[in-house]
Amino acid sequence: MVDVGGKGATQRVAVAEGTVRMAAATLDAIMAGNVAKGDVVAVARVAGIMAAKRTADIVPLCHPIGLDAVSVELEPDRALPGYRVRARAATSGRTGVEMEALTAVSAACLTLYDMAKALDRAMVIGDLRLLEKSGGRSGDYRAP
């Protein structure tokens, strides 16, 4: 792991996003709450939050950090069709939370797939990326 001991603690925030593309009928079933496993969006949201909290256990060499906040939002998008998943992670610390935000999105997308796979095994998870980050020595970043 990189030594962050000499770095000062600052407020750090990261926002990441990803998508799950699916058949329009699958999107309709999820939105209507007609999926046998239950509330797909609620479970995917919780999975994303839980994953963000365990990022250091999943990603080698990632620092375990205390998170001040994590939010995960899943928005239906008929143009995909599918869901856009966005996560925001924040901490006051010596290292950034980009990996926590990306991990949250990944887990939420995987959970959405898992819960709806009986309806649509052809779903595609993609477009995972960091949208923005702030804080720390490297400064702010916003995706073009």
Helix, strand or coil, per DSSP, at residue 28: helix
Tokens of 101: 């935000």
CB 128 within 8 A of CB 102: yes
Query: Choosing from 28, 114, 127, 140, which is the catalytic residue?
Result: 114
Query: For residue 51, with 0-12 CB atoms within 10 Å meaning exposed, 13-18 middle and 19 or more buried, which class applies?
Result: buried
The answer to whether 114 is a known catalytic residue is: yes
H/E stretch holding 85: strand 82-93
> Residue 102 is which amino acid?
L
Active site residues: 114
